[in-house]
Copies of this chain bind each other. A is one copy, B any other.
Amino acid sequence: MLDTTPQTYTRADEAFDCLQTAIVKGDLAPGDKIGELDLCSRFDLTRGPLREALGRLESRGLLVRRPHAGVRVVSLSTTELVELYRIREIMEGLAARQAAERMTDQEIADLQATLDAHETMIDEAHGQAYYQAEGDYDFHHRIATGSRNVKLAQMLLGDLYYMVRMYRYRLSTSAGRPHRALGEHRRIVEAIAQRDGELAEFLMKRHINAARKNIEKKIQEGVLTI
């Protein structure tokens, strides 16, 4: 009895993916009131699967719903966005620690290779934000799965990352930051390669802390208006 994992993709899954990417990419902006019929015609779906997808999105915190009053894309206040980074800080710290204890040598090697690829991408793009964002996402993704902590990875990859990515396009990093971030990534991987979980956790927390302070600064400068 092989676990063939039939993996038949259902309409609801399709709807879920469509909506999630639409929200993350900004096609559905925060605060938008979205009607079910609009969405149906937009993604060529029927209301049944759509509603199921909406329920899932709501449960993940990307949508807010009021009975009989429609569904809106969640709109984070500045303080909520900052709080999100505090959560990321500790959770990714734990992920880094456990990754240092559990990643295979092969995975670590792949991770280092990934960083090399990121470096060339950044050089070619002259520090453009987009590639940095993708590379950053890739890096944190690998750490999360490498922790072998299923629930932790699920929470990071399923909940937090999508919310952060929602606001990513407004959080363009300042010039020169890509290189510095890459350096921080390298030091984290070094710690992991040396199986030093404590150091990996410390460096990861500081890495995300820097990002949080960067955002807080921009908010105080009034550059970032949400």
Determine if A69 and B6 form an interchain contact, defined as CB atoms under 8 angstroms apart.
Answer: yes
Binary interface encoding of chain A residues 77-111 relative to chain B, with 1 for a CB under 8 A from any of its CBs, else 0 = 00010011011001101100010000000000000
Alpha-carbon distance A152/B59, docked complex (angstroms) = 14
Residue in chain B with minimal CB distance to A152: B87
List the B side residues contacting A151 at CB < 8 Å. 61, 80, 83-84, 87, 163
Bound CA–CA A61/B158 (angstroms): 11
Known: A52-B55, A93-B90, A149-B87. Is A67-B6 also a contact (CB below 8 A)? yes
Q: Taking each of A8, A86, A154, which has the highest tally of chain B beta carbons within 10 Å of its own beta carbon?
A: A86
CB distance from A145 to the nearest CB of B (A): 14
Q: Check A150 for interface membership: any CB of B closer than 8 A.
A: yes
**Do the beta carbons of B86 and A149 come within 8 Å of each other?**
yes
Q: A67-B8, A80-B151, A83-B149 are in contact. Are A60 and B61 (CB under 8 A)?
A: no
What's the Cα separation between A132 and B90 when bound, in Å?
A: 28
A185 to chain B, nearest CB (A): 22
Copies of this chain, whole number: 2
Q: Which residues in B have their C-beta under 8 angstroms from that of A55?
A: 12, 52-53, 55-56, 59
Contacts of A84 in B (CB 8 A): 151
| Residues 1-30 of chain A, each 1 if its beta carbon lies under 8 Å from chain B, else 0 | 000001111101000000000000000000
Query: For the complex, what is the distance from the CA of A200 to the CA of B6, rounded to whole Å?
Result: 48
Asked, given contacts A6-B66, A55-B56, A151-B61, whether A87 binds B80 with beta carbons under 8 Å apart, the answer is: no
Can you spell out 25 A-B residue pairs with CB atoms less than 8 angstroms apart? A6-B67, A7-B67, A8-B67, A8-B68, A10-B67, A12-B55, A48-B48, A52-B55, A55-B55, A55-B59, A56-B56, A56-B59, A59-B59, A61-B154, A80-B151, A83-B152, A84-B151, A86-B149, A87-B91, A87-B94, A87-B151, A90-B90, A90-B93, A90-B94, A91-B91
Question: Which 6 residue pairs of A and B lie closest in terms of their CB atoms, listed nearest first?
Answer: A59-B59, A56-B59, A90-B90, A52-B55, A83-B149, A8-B67
